[in-house]
Structure formats: structure tokens, C-alpha cells
């Protein structure tokens, strides 16, 4: 008995380690698929997002960056679903496969190479596996590999289905065959208008067979109704035989190209003739390059997997070489209408900026291209310079639904945009970019604040009647975050002028010096002039030490932290605030308190089966990229101590939790440096 007890004792000791070894840092596996409690995970390449479904051979959404039209919600522009170009049907011996006939289903997200694989058994006939990719090297193109292994002699009939979402109208379907001596191309193509007719959306797919030219299966096209058509083939398999094929397709709109119908087919033909192996090779190479910028945690396997998931989603939702910017839910669906908020500049952007400046550049370019709309917005409100909209979509005009007061009043967004532009220069030291792109944003935003303040005497250049960063505080005066962000914006604009040899507006410095940051009688920084200790929705005062650096004294940072961390309710608030608490405590040297808030920032928000982050505890609207951005900042700038300064990226003191042996951050900044904390 003593030996048995000793063995059980050893197993209990080893169990956490054995469990940890089963947590793959790069793969999230769902063994039990419950359609009633299923929150899909997204495979995306910064342009096209594919959201998973619990139903075999179906995807929930196909979302394209930058595609908006007015329909349904709020009389404002909304994200659109594009064609479901990866849906399939599979008949085996003439019987249609459905969810009930599929057993032992398993789904797996490979974050290292951005693929999603589903496997299942179909009755006693076959084992089925399919994997899809949103190809990183081809922004508008997707690929799906299908493998069917017969358990007995069967005949399979797979069909590639092209289906238009209900919101699209005037759907037209085409089937084209192009014959060449070396290849026959068969294209399943659809086009449709967006709800108002403003946009044309198009998609095209083709089969990729492994058989030599002339020996491929015969493909049949079937027209079902105006919203759906398909192409299919049949193949007889012997018991034990495995048959593999692929579907490649492209989706593009008139928001991206002047001739989207022909371009969708051209892009599909290009991918088809690149061939399967080259498509996957270049896709994998692109992701290998992205992952050179990584966060590695030694000693906490589950956190390592979670952090890879956060990085994976931020990388998936953004892309270098564009002028697109991610919404709070990225490309994971239609949440927040796909609009762009401060979520980008304050929460997602800083992590991308230090890890991949070339991607961050796209996010600032989005704002630069909409600067003229911001100037008109300022003019409409009686101000000078540029006033960026709280919710931005395709054109850069204000897109906030009128019932939300944040549209006319949440003005800190203008400073958030300008400070993001300055930080791009700080990290890259690119003066040419600063002159051509950064300066127009910085100076126009500074002019806005100089006209926005009300000059009521020294130390009282007040900013009145705003919605605070804590959005439960509406139409308040002298909000801490708004005032501090405006102050920093004005100082950064003056610094940029000096660097570039431009004449700075002398009024900027005067205004910056006189914008007040209020305090309560107990010495705590006051959130706004009428604040008296009530609960807050999200971080506001605690953003003044980071990212704004307006409060720098450790004693004041601690005082504000200990006060406001008790004002956040347990439910109904977004995930970013606790991440800022974690970041500040790590910098203050309290690794354990930092770890508590780090875990609190996302673990209660995880939903099954892929541990994707919902916006709030108990929430149901993943994936919340804003929260992921905040949490990654707690790792990079908190535990990792990275600091963005006018001279580039430096490292300040920080403290890890006892559970972590080390934190290694690779590929940082333009020089791809490595930083470590032990």
C-alpha cells in the first residue's frame, strides 16, 4: 500500500507538468464540438477573414476588409459578408452528408501557419479531413484542401458551392471553361451588388486536382437559384483508398479594384496555375516571417498558447502595404459594424508598431488618407484643424449611430490618432515619412486642440463637454484622459516641427502648458470635473502614466491604481482596462499583482471551444482584438519593459511573476532586436 500511495503522490506532483506538455503552443484543438456553445475562430490574411462553423464543410462568415455599405443597423455604413466561396456539399453513395452523420469531429487551429483543419468520420463509409487557408501572400485568395479515405468501396460526389449572403442583391452566376493544351480551367463565379448598389462584390473558385492534365474528373455545373450555384464531380474509391483535391478561390470588390468581376477570375486563375504546393510554400514562408516577431514565455504553457493566439489574431486582422485599419472585432465578423475606433490607435496599434512597424504603417495610412474628411468634420463643429470621427469606416466621415453621444463628443480620438503618428516616427526614425505623412496629421490635430480649448486664465485652458475615455461619463468637463492626450498631441506636434525645421505654432506650447489635470482632495487624479467616486466602464486616469507619460511619479501611479482598480465592475466592461493595471504594476515592480490583473484581463472572457476572447466577461461577441492588443501591451511594455521614446525603443525596469522563468521578445522594431527579462 505504501508503494501505491507513493506512486499516486508522484503522479499528483507530475500531473500539472504532464498536462502542460499537452498544451501545444501553436495549436488549439477542439475535440468536443457543441453547436449550441460554439464561437468560431477566424483564419485571415489581413484582407479576407473566414470564420469557422461547427457544421461540416461550412463556414460562418467571409469578411473582407474595407467593404462597407449602409443597410440595416443605425443608418450608417456597415461591414458586409462576402460570398461563401468555401462552402461544400459531399455526397457518398448518393446520400448527402450532414452534421448528424458526422461523428468524432475534431477541429484545430494551427496558428503558426494560419490554417484550420476539421476531421470527422462519416457513418461507416469514410474518414474526411479538410483544411482551409486565407493565403498570406495573396490578399484576396483562399485555399481549401480536402482528403477522403474510404473505409469500404464508395462513390463520392463533392460539390464546391458558391452562395451569396442575404444582404446582397442582383446576384449573377457564371460558369466558365478555358481550354489550353496544358490545362483546362473551370471557374465557378458570382457577382452581386451591395444593399444600396454602391459596391460590386465578386468571387470565383476552381478545383485543383492532382491527376495529370486530361485525366481529371469531369466537372458538372449546376444552377440552383439566384443566390447559389455549384460545380461537382464524382469519383469511385476502393476500401482503404485516399483521394485528395483542393478548391482555390478569390473574393474582391469594387472597393478594392475597378473591375472586380474579371479580377476575381484572374486572381483565381493565377492561384490555380501557381499550383497547390507553391501556394502553400509561399503562405508558410510569409507566416514564418511574421513569427520572427514573437513573445516567448518560459514556465507557463497555457499562457504561451493564449499569447500566441492574441498575436495570431492581430497579425491576421492587419496587413502591410494597405490603408486599412482593424475594427474592434477585426475580420471575425460584423461586430461594431466593422468601424474603426480608438481601439486601433490606443490598444492594437502599439503592439503592432513594435513587433511589425510595416504593418503599423498601414493603420496610420488609413487615417492619413481620411485627413480631409477630418478637416471638414472640424469645420462643421466650429473648430480649426482636423477632428477625426469617433467611428470611421470607408470614407472617414463620422459613422457613429446618432443614439450614441460618443460621435459628437468623444474628441480624444483626434489626439489618439496624432499620437499614434508620432509614435510611428519614434520607432522608425523615418523623417521622410514624418514630413510627408506624420506632420500633416500632427499639425492639423494640434490646431484642433488650440481651437477646442476654452481659455479661462492661466492653468485653465479647459476642454469642456466631452465623452470621457470612460464612456459612462458623458458631457463632462476636463476629462483626465482627453486633457492629457491633447497635451501630448500639442507637445508632439511642436517636437515634430523642430525636427523637420518647420515653424511651430507658438500657441501649441501655451495651450499644452495650461490644460489642467485635476486632482481630488485625497490626492487621486480626478477623472473629470464632476467625478465623485462612481464606477467606471474602462481605463481613463490610469492611461496617463502609460501610454501618455503625463504622470510619472511612482507614488502617484500607485495611488491612482489602488483607487480606480476598485471602481471597475466585475461584468459588462471591456477587457482592456485590467491589462493596463497589469502593465503598470509590472513596471512598478509588483510582478504578482501584475500577474493577477494580467489573468483577469482575459481569462474570464474566453469562450469555447478555441479560447477566443469576448469583449466582456460572459460576453458572446468574439474576437475582441482590442482586448488582445491591450493584453499584448501588458506583456511587451509591462512585463517586457519596452518603451517608445523619441530616440527609438528602449527598455525600462519591470518585474515578472514568480511562475514565469523568463520572457523573451523577438523581432522588435526596424532592427528586429531581441529583449529578455528573467
Residues with active-site annotation = 471, 615
Specify whether the CB–CB gap between 573 and 616 falls below 8 A: yes
Question: Measured between alpha carbons, how far is residue 623 from residues 52, 63, 130, 610 in Å?
Answer: 12, 13, 23, 11
Cell of 675: 529583449
Specify whether the CB–CB gap between 175 and 166 falls below 8 A: no
Cell of 83: 460570398
CA 80/CA 420 separation, integer angstroms: 28
CA 371/CA 269 separation, integer angstroms: 37
CA 147/CA 131 separation, integer angstroms: 9
Specify whether the CB–CB gap between 51 and 60 falls below 8 A: yes
Diameter over CA atoms, the chain: 89
Specify whether the CB–CB gap between 375 and 386 falls below 8 A: yes
CA angle, residues 127, 132, 137, in degrees to nearest 5:
150
Number of Cβ within 10 Å of residue 17's Cβ equals 9
Give the list of residues 6+ apart from residue 91 with CB closer than 8 angstroms, or none. Answer: 97, 156, 157, 158, 159
Any idea which residue has 496624432 for its cell?
Answer: 418
Specify whether the CB–CB gap between 484 and 419 falls below 8 A: no
Cell of 94: 448518393
Which of 349, 301, 350, 356 minimizes the C-alpha distance to 327? 349
Cell of 84: 461563401
Three-state DSSP class for residue 567: coil
CA 360/CA 43 separation, integer angstroms: 20
Instruction: Give how far the C-alpha of residue 605 lies from the chain's centroid of Cα atoms, to the nearest Å.
Output: 16
Any idea which residue has 509614435 for its cell?
Answer: 423
Cα distance between the two ends of the chain: 43
Cell of 563: 483607487
Cell of 50: 473566414
Question: Measured between alpha carbons, how far is residue 15 from residues 414, 456, 506 in Å?
Answer: 52, 66, 66
Question: Measured between alpha carbons, how far is residue 234 from residues 123, 218, 459, 508 in Å?
Answer: 19, 8, 79, 72
Amino acid at each position: 500500500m505504501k508503494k501505491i500511495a507513493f506512486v499516486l503522490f508522484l503522479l499528483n506532483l507530475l500531473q500539472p507538468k504532464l498536462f502542460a506538455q499537452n498544451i501545444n503552443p501553436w495549436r488549439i484543438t477542439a475535440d468536443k464540438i457543441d453547436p449550441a456553445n460554439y464561437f468560431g475562430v477566424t483564419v485571415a490574411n489581413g484582407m479576407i477573414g473566414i470564420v469557422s462553423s461547427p457544421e461540416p464543410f461550412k463556414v460562418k462568415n467571409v469578411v473582407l476588409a474595407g467593404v462597407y455599405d449602409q443597410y440595416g443597423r443605425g443608418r450608417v455604413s456597415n461591414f458586409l459578408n462576402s460570398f461563401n466561396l468555401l462552402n461544400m456539399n459531399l455526397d457518398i453513395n448518393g446520400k448527402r452528408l450532414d452534421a448528424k452523420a458526422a461523428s468524432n469531429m475534431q477541429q484545430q487551429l494551427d496558428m503558426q501557419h494560419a490554417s484550420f483543419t476539421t476531421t470527422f468520420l462519416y457513418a461507416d463509409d469514410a474518414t474526411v479531413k479538410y483544411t482551409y487557408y486565407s493565403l498570406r501572400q495573396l490578399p484576396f485568395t483562399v485555399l481549401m484542401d480536402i482528403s477522403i479515405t474510404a473505409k469500404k468501396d464508395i462513390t463520392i460526389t463533392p460539390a464546391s458551392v458558391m452562395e451569396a449572403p442575404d444582404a446582397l442583391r442582383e446576384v449573377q452566376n457564371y460558369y466558365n471553361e478555358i481550354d489550353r493544351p496544358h490545362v483546362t480551367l473551370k471557374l465557378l463565379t458570382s457577382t452581386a451588388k451591395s444593399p444600396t448598389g454602391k459596391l460590386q462584390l465578386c468571387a470565383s473558385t476552381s478545383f485543383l486536382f492532382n491527376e495529370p492534365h486530361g485525366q481529371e474528373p469531369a466537372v458538372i455545373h449546376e444552377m440552383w437559384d439566384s443566390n447559389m450555384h455549384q460545380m461537382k464531380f464524382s469519383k469511385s474509391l476502393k476500401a482503404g483508398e485516399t483521394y485528395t483535391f483542393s478548391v482555390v478561390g478569390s473574393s474582391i470588390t469594387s472597393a478594392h479594384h475597378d473591375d472586380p468581376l474579371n479580377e476575381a477570375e484572374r486572381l483565381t486563375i493565377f492561384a490555380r496555375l501557381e499550383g497547390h504546393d507553391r501556394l502553400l510554400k509561399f503562405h508558410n514562408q510569409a507566416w514564418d516571417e511574421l513569427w520572427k516577431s514573437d513573445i516567448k514565455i518560459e514556465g507557463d504553457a497555457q499562457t504561451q498558447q493564449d499569447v500566441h493566439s492574441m498575436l495570431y489574431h492581430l497579425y491576421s486582422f492587419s496587413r502591410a502595404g494597405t490603408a486599412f485599419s482593424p475594427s474592434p472585432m477585426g475580420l471575425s465578423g460584423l461586430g461594431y459594424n466593422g468601424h474603426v475606433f480608438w481601439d486601433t490607435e490606443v490598444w492594437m496599434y502599439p503592439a503592432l508598431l513594435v513587433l511589425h512597424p510595416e504593418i503599423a504603417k498601414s493603420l496610420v495610412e488609413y487615417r492619413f488618407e481620411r485627413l480631409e474628411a477630418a478637416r471638414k468634420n472640424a469645420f462643421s463643429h466650429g473648430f480649426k484643424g482636423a477632428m477625426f470621427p469617433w467611428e470611421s469606416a470607408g470614407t472617414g466621415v463620422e459613422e457613429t449611430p446618432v443614439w450614441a453621444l460618443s460621435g459628437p463628443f468623444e474628441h480624444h480620438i483626434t489626439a489618439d490618432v496624432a499620437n499614434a503618428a508620432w509614435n510611428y516616427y519614434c520607432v522608425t526614425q523615418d523623417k521622410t515619412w514624418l514630413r510627408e505623412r506624420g506632420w500633416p496629421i500632427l499639425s492639423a490635430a494640434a490646431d484642433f486642440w488650440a481651437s477646442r480649448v476654452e481659455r479661462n486664465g492661466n492653468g485653465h485652458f479647459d476642454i469642456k463637454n466631452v465623452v470621457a475615455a470612460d464612456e459612462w461619463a458623458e458631457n463632462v468637463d476636463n476629462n483626465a484622459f482627453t486633457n492629457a492626450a491633447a497635451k501630448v498631441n500639442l507637445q508632439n506636434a511642436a517636437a515634430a516641427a523642430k525636427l523637420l525645421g518647420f515653424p511651430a505654432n507658438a500657441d501649441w506650447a501655451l495651450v499644452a502648458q495650461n490644460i489642467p489635470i485635476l486632482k481630488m482632495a485625497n490626492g487621486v487624479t480626478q477623472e473629470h470635473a464632476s467625478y465623485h467616486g462612481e464606477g467606471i466602464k474602462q481605463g481613463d486616469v490610469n492611461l496617463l502614466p502609460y501610454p501618455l507619460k503625463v504622470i510619472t511619479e511612482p507614488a502617484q501611479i500607485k495611488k491612482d491604481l489602488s483607487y480606480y482598480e476598485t471602481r471597475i465592475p466585475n461584468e459588462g466592461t471591456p477587457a482592456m482596462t485590467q491589462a493596463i493595471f497589469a502593465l503598470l504594476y509590472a513596471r512598478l515592480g509588483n510582478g504578482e499583482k501584475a500577474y493577477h490583473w494580467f489573468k483577469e484581463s482575459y481569462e474570464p472572457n474566453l469562450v469555447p471551444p478555441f479560447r477566443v476572447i469576448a469583449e466582456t466577461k460572459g460576453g458572446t461577441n468574439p474576437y475582441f482584438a482590442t482586448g488582445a492588443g491591450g493584453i499584448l501591451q501588458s506583456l511587451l511594455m509591462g512585463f517586457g519593459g519596452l518603451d517608445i521614446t523619441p530616440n527609438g525603443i528602449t527598455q525600462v525596469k519591470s518585474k515578472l511573476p514568480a511562475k514565469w522563468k523568463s520572457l523573451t521578445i523577438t523581432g522588435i522594431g526596424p532592427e528586429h532586436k531581441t529583449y529578455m527579462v528573467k
